[in-house]
Amino acid sequence: MSKYLVIVESPAKAKTIKKYLGNDYKVTASMGHIRDLPQSHLGVDVKNDFEPMYIVMTGKSKLIKSLKEDASKAERIYLATDPDREGEAISWHLAHILKVDGSTPCRITFNEITKNAIANAVKEPKPLNMNLVDAQQARRVLDRIVGYEISPVLWKKVKKGLSAGRVQSVAMRIICDREQEIEDFVPEEYWSIEARFARDDGTRFSARFYGTNGKKLEIKSKEESDAITSLMKTASWHVSGVKKGTKRRSPAPPFITSTMQQEASRKLGFSAHKTMTVAQQLYEGVELGSEGSVGLITYMRTDSVRLSDDAIKQARAYIQERFGKDYLPGKPRVYKTKSAAQDAHEAIRPTYAEKDPESLKGMLTTDQYRLYKLIWDRFIACQMENAVFDTISVEIDGIKGDPLRYGNNHDVLNFRASGSRLIFPGFIALYVEGRDDEEEEESQQLPSLEEGEALSLEEVKPEQHFTEPPPRYTEATLVKTLEEKGIGRPSTYAPTISTIVSRGYVERNKKQLVPTELGKMVNRIMVENFPDIVNVNFTADMESRLDSVEEGRVSWKEILREFYPGFMETIKKAEQVIEKVEMPVEKSDVICEKCGRTMVIRTGRFGKFLACPGYPACRNAKPLYEEAGVKCPKCGGKAIVLRTKTGRKYLGCENYPKCDFLSWDMPSDKTCPKCGSFMTQKTSGNTQVLKCANPECGHTEEHAKERKKKST
Helix residue ranges, H only, 292-348: 309-323
* Sheet of strand 76-79, all strands in order from the earlier edge strand to the far edge: 25-29, 4-8, 76-79
C-alpha to C-alpha distance for 698 and 256, rounded to whole angstroms: 33
What DSSP letter does each residue of 59-111 carry, written as one string?
Answer: T-HHHHHHHHHHHHH-SEEEE---SSHHHHHHHHHHHHHHT--TTSS-B---S
Which listed residue (299, 431, 473, 493) is catalytic? Answer: 299
3-state secondary structure of 25: strand
C-alpha to C-alpha distance for 63 and 66, rounded to whole angstroms: 5
Beta strands in 80-200 (DSSP E): 189-198
Provide the β-strand partners of residue 702.
689
Answer yes or no: are the C-beta atoms of 666 and 680 closer than 8 Å.
Answer: yes
Give the C-alpha distances (Å, rounded to integers) separating 217 from 419, 463, 503: 22, 15, 49
What DSSP letter does each residue of 551-575 carry, written as one string?
Answer: TTSS-HHHHHHHHHHHHHHHHHHHH
**Residue 406 annotated as catalytic:** no
The single-letter code of the amino acid at 601 is I
C-alpha to C-alpha distance for 705 and 712, rounded to whole angstroms: 22
Answer yes or no: are the C-beta atoms of 77 and 96 closer than 8 Å.
Answer: no
Reply yes or no: is the peptide bond before residue 38 cis, omega within 30 of 0: no
C-alpha to C-alpha distance for 282 and 573, rounded to whole angstroms: 49
C-alpha to C-alpha distance for 373 and 443, rounded to whole angstroms: 28
- Tell me the catalytic residues: 299
